[in-house]
Amino acid sequence: MVATVENDEDLHIPRDAKIVKSLLQSIGIDEYEHCVVHHMLELWYKYAGQVLTDTRLYSMHAGKGSIDSDDIELAIQSKTLIFPNYQIAIPEKQSLEELEQDKVAKLNPSLEQSMELGQYTHQRVSFPLSRQTK
């Protein structure tokens, strides 16, 4: 009998969290904040709950006594047809860096941009006030 040695931390982690961690490692993500696992689990549970609720509704609508694989497939297809953005894609690193640079540029305008703002002269505008009769 071969016993595996696990960290003390791994002994207290739920099975689903271990699965999320292994999924992250399998796609090459080794460094992440602890809250990432919690957010992934929340998304996972929410999606699975919605699919199972829809599956039950489809099965009841068809007049079946139990849920079968066709109901599950229909529920998943309806999620991707109604909400096509449900499929999450990991953005490329280059596009993330470009977004970050754009954000920094907006927060910290260059010296040229700040000088351009000062070139406009202010105009005084006055509006005649009408007198009210009593």
Q: Give the count of domains, the chain.
A: 1
**Residue 117 falls within a domain, yes or no?**
no
In DSSP notation, the chain reads -PPPP--HHHHTS-HHHHHHHHHHHHTT-----HHHHHHHHHHHHHHHHHHHHHHHHHHHHTT-SS--HHHHHHHHHHHHHH-GGGS--PPPHHHHHHHHHHHHHHHS--HHHHHHHHTSPP-----PPPPPP-
Task: Kindly state whether residue 48 falls inside one of the protein's structural domains.
Answer: yes
Within a domain: 80: yes
Residue 113 lies in a domain: no
- The CATH number of whichever domain residue 101 belongs to comes to 1.10.20.10
Q: 77 is in which domain, residue-wise?
A: 8-106
Is there a domain that residue 78 lies in?
Answer: yes
Per-residue confidence of the chain (134 residues) as pLDDT tens digits?
333 445 656 678 889 999 999 999 999 998 988 889 999 999 889 988 999 999 999 999 999 989 999 988 888 888 776 665 555 555 566 566 777 777 766 666 665 555 555 555 666 666 666 666 65
Check: pTM over 0.85? Answer yes or no. Answer: no
